[in-house]
Amino acid sequence: MPPVAVVTDTTCYLPSERVTAEELRQVSLYVHWQGRDDREADLPDFDGYYEHLRTAADLPTTSQPSVGDFLSCYEPLLDAGHDVVSIHLSAGISGTYESALAAKARLDEQGREGRIEVMDSATACGGLGLMVLAAAARARAVDDVEAVVRHARAAREELNLWFCVDTLEFLRRGGRIGSASAWLGTTLRIKPILALEAEITPVERVRTAGRAFERMVDYLRSCHEDGADAWVVQHIQAPDVAARLVDRGREIFGTEPTIVSEIGPVIGTHVGPGLIGVGGVPSSFLR
């Protein structure tokens, strides 16, 4: 592991093999369903959870990691002589960032050697994943916490991320709808396209799944035109649609996607099955 260790949380939904290859550390968020309290990281797959979500009268709940969860991650890294850059789910939709800050403050009070910098990504899912990969790339190149933080922030400034949900109903029920609340009412019957800029924000409304798919292709093309050539496709219980989107992306970029994965229950509870999302950042940030 490089001298600067990169920590994130499970809502980046990076493939497990990529997490291992990049020597990342992840702190898990929690889902509470069917009388169970599960760490998202411990779920063997997401199918059972989403089947329950589709039919549940009461929406399952989610929660941030505890301060103790972060301490359990940070302490061994500090003991091994690492500094830490810890990048997390947008503080606008989760208390994860605040838990990480509280853990850092406790270790600072104890006078522990080593430095911890905690970052609010102001994004989630593939956007968070791309920021984390950018931080990991810089951590391999330099032994400098500030340089890693600056690089991750610069990547965030260049990041684009859009997603389409099947309905706003899950966002409404979960209370995470942000400024997209203006679209409630009859718009529950359309396909909203949204972005995450600290909170969930509306981008545009389309009327059919086919049109939503083509708009996602258009956004990939926009990424390419803007030089954001490290691209991502994510979905919730829509692998066939995601595969078609990857095929179209290959035609646009002439490369393989940086991330293809399914979004898990912590975010999925609030957006619902059927989501497809795309995004990108200049690949120079990942080298």
188 and 117 in a common domain: no
Does residue 48 lie within any of the structural domains?
no
Q: Are residues 176 and 137 in the same domain?
A: no
> Do residues 140 and 176 share a domain?
no
Question: What CATH number should be reported for the domain holding residue 139?
Answer: 3.40.50.10170
Digit-coded pLDDT (tens) for 125-175:
999 999 999 999 999 999 999 999 999 999 999 999 999 998 777 777 655
| Residue type, position 279, single letter | G
Query: Are 281 and 134 contacting, i.e. CB atoms less than 8 angstroms apart?
Result: yes
**Residue pLDDT, tens place only, 216-260:** 999 999 999 999 999 999 999 999 999 999 999 999 999 999 999
- If we measure between CA atoms, which residue out of 171, 174, 237 comes closest to residue 202? 171
Is 235 part of any domain?
Answer: yes
Q: How many domains does the chain have?
A: 2
Tell which of 158, 193, 210 closes a domain: 158
Rounded to two decimals, the pTM is 0.93
What is the per-residue pLDDT across 28-68, written as a single tens digit (0 to 9) for each? 999 999 999 999 999 999 999 999 998 888 889 999 999 99
Whether residue 40 is contained in a domain is answered as no
> Could you list the residue range(s) of the whole structural domain that residue 185 is in?
160-286
* Cβ-Cβ contacts under 8 Å for 48 (sequence gap 6 or more): none
